[in-house]
Amino acid sequence: MTALAPALITGCSSGMGRQTALALHRKGHPVYATARRPDDLAALAAEGITTLALDVTDEQSMAAAVTRVEEEHGAVGVLVNNAAYGLHLPVELAGPEEVRAQFETNVFGAVRLVQLVLPAMRAAGSGRIVNISSMGGRFSPPGGGFYHATKHAVEALSDSLRLEVAPFGIKVVVVQPGPTLTDFAGTAVTTMHGPADHDPYGTFRAELADMYAHKTFTRRGGAVPVETATRTIVRAATTARPRARYAIGTVARTVMTARRLLPDAAFDAMLRRSFPLPLHAPIRQSPSKRKSKTEESKWL
């Protein structure tokens, strides 16, 4: 891969996508930064970066962005599949449309972009696909089943893809951030809908939202600066011999190591100590006898 391989990056309106676009641009790569709303990319355009509208749930916009890069450079040199969001709801409460939307953005859009860029990459005999997964691609805590399911899917697809395209000179890399100081926490918290009457998960969802907003995605909770994550993504996108995976942050490395080494029962016990859980409140139980999970849990 040449040092100036053109890079197509999704989800550049903020966070890791925006910082990755800037970093690769400053290294000399022709960068095509994309987002659903081009107005969100004005600051990147002011830096001299080419900006494009790209909605990973819209086939036409994805095809148009890939065609633009191929017309100007022959092929996409680096695809960074970064666009994603986190749906955080108990499995029982998530509606079918919410689940479909989660997979459309986090999985199907990334897959379709891979399919669109591969023919020209194969013809060029080179290319790099960087899929932004998460430490959540290796485990799944309460309240995050659907978001983490999409990241498990990204991991599985990347493993197959890495072997399928290696003979054509194309490398596939997975990046696994832990908690990062971006807008992700705020977006995730907005999906934890407010408690409704007779909602058996109401207290759990409120406690989980508080944990994410004030503990997990903070420096005190071990969240890393976006610049740290960006350096890893850039290394994954540009190093001559990338690893299959790059974990970002102590939290990510620690939790994924525990998931690999501990039996299921022990890992579940660790999660029960670290996350809030729904209250077990049978109908006959007096409310005065319930004990809040907040009083019982130690969170990470």
Residue type (1 letter), 206: A
Options 85, 147, 201, 212, the catalytic residue? 147
Options 32, 85, 134, 151, the catalytic residue? 151
Residues 6 or more apart whose CB falls under 8 angstroms from that of 214 comprise: none
Q: What is the pLDDT of residue 187?
A: 64
212: annotated active-site residue: no
Q: What is the pLDDT of residue 290?
A: 45
What's the sign of the alpha-carbon dihedral 72, 77, 78, 81? Answer: positive
246: annotated active-site residue: no
Options 13, 32, 134, 293, the catalytic residue? 13
pTM: 0.89
Options 133, 158, 171, 201, the catalytic residue? 133
Q: What is the pLDDT of residue 281?
A: 57
CB atoms within 10 A of CB 189: 18
Q: What is the pLDDT of residues 226-244, one digit of tens each?
A: 999 999 999 999 999 999 9
Q: What is the pLDDT of residue 103?
A: 98
Give me the DSSP letters along 82-135. Answer: ---------TTT--HHHHHHHHIIIIIHHHHHHHHHHHHHHHHT-EEEEEE--G
85: annotated active-site residue: no
Q: What is the pLDDT of residue 2?
A: 47
Q: What is the pLDDT of residue 188?
A: 61
201: annotated active-site residue: no
Query: Domains in the chain, ordered, with CATH?
Result: 7-296 (3.40.50.720)
Q: What is the pLDDT of residue 282?
A: 54
Give me the DSSP letters along 53-79. Answer: E--TT-HHHHHHHHHHHHHHHSS-SEE
Q: Which residue, among 199, 71, 90, has the nearest Cα to 145 in the 3D structure?
A: 90
Cα gap 107→157, rounded to integer Å: 9
Distance of alpha carbon 71 from the chain centroid: 29
What does each of the 300 residues of the chain score in pLDDT, given as a tens digit?
445 899 999 999 999 999 999 999 999 999 999 999 999 999 999 999 999 999 999 999 999 999 999 999 999 999 999 999 999 999 999 999 999 999 999 999 999 999 999 999 999 999 999 999 999 999 999 999 999 999 999 999 999 999 999 999 999 999 999 999 877 666 666 767 665 667 889 889 989 988 988 888 888 888 999 999 999 999 999 999 999 999 999 999 999 999 999 999 999 999 999 999 998 755 444 444 444 444 433 333
Separation in Å, CA 187 to CA 111, 183, 190 = 23, 6, 5
3-state secondary structure of 266: helix
Q: What is the pLDDT of residue 279?
A: 83
Q: What is the pLDDT of residue 217?
A: 84
